[in-house]
Amino acid sequence: RIYRTIWDKDSRSFPLIRHTKAIAQALNTAGKETYAAMRYGRPSVEEALLPLRKRQDIRLTILSLLPHYAMSSYETTVEHCRAEIGRFCPDIPFRVIPPFYAHEAYIRALSERIRPYLQTPFDKLILSYHGIPQSHLNRTTRQTLGLHHPDGCCTADDPTASVCYLYQTRQTTTLLRQSLGLREDQIEEAFQSRFGHTEWLQPYLADRLAALPSEGAGRVLITSPSFVCDCLETIEEVAEHGKRIFMQAGGLSYTYIPCLNEDGVWIESLRTILQEP
């Protein structure tokens, strides 16, 4: 029922699929042979690989469009691609692009997307990241590195930072704040899409949106850096449902900043990320 609300009648597709294909097409136009694929759904990784299985002249690159590492998202996507390459193209070499949460090109693209919205008076810029259960932090570091996740989260010197979702979202927030020239009190991060009864990463987005007007933040800008393409979680959950929560709590203005999608600066940023060894 909710997915029907974001169905695009003109393209007969969902925004996530439309934008992902548009990114692939833009990279193709820019000289990078690129195929879009979904971890779940279509076009599948299998469908992307089948035309390549008899090629002898190529080297594959796996680029997950998930900027931050989480075992439940980035890791499962990469492992699924590895398995499918093993099934259909076992003789073709490939490499994997690591999470790009702190890459200068990604931060630049986000900054350029957000900056025009800062020209209108606002009280707070909210960065809404997809949440994960709190227990996943230690489970991930234990399973991937055999280490305990540090209490209070990681620092750049901890080996666990390479697989710590919370550390990586905080890095994105810090780098974005510095790039935009904002004070610490002008920006904050929250976590969305929680379900079930276990504790997830906090603060929860819905709770913050309900509280901000009473704290004097009646004008907010909001965007979702953990998604590079608009989808159900950004359009319905953040742009629409989030606005209802905020305005009902006494908010004055609520502006959703769309994801990077196929923005030209983002395509150039992706080319930079792909060109690195």
The mean of the pLDDT values for the chain is 95
> Which pLDDT does position 8 carry in this prediction?
85
| Beta bridge pairs of residue 13 | 8
Given a contact cutoff of 8 angstroms between Cβ atoms, the answer to whether 237 and 142 are in contact is no
Predicted confidence at residue 22, as pLDDT, reads: 95
The model's pLDDT over 3-36, given as tens digits with 9 standing for 90+, comes to 888 888 888 889 999 999 999 999 999 888 999 9
Residues of the chain with CATH 3.40.50.1400: 3-101+264-275, 104-256
Q: Which residues, listed in sequence order, are joined to residue 129 by a DSSP beta bridge?
A: 191
Distance CA 164, CA 71 (A): 9
- Kindly indicate whether the domain formed by 3-101+264-275 is annotated with CATH number 2.60.40.10: no
Q: Check: CB of residue 88 under 8 Å from CB of residue 46.
A: yes
pLDDT at 269: 97
Please say whether the structural domain 104-256 has been given the CATH code 2.130.10.10: no
Residues 116-127 pLDDT 10s: 999 999 999 999
Distance (Å, whole) CA 99 – CA 222: 23
Hey, is 154 helix, strand or coil?
coil
Range list of β-strands (E), 110-215: 124-130, 187-192
The pLDDT, as a whole number, for residue 181 is: 98
pTM: 0.95
Q: Percent of the chain having pLDDT more than 70?
A: 100
User: How many CB atoms neighbour CB 111 within 10 A?
Assistant: 18
Interatomic CA distance for residues 34 and 24, integer angstroms: 5
Q: How far apart are CA 243 and CA 187, in angstroms?
A: 18
pLDDT tier, 195 (very low <50, low <70, confident <90, very high otherwise): confident
pLDDT in tens, 41-63: 889 999 999 999 888 889 999 99
Distance CA 169, CA 234 (A): 17
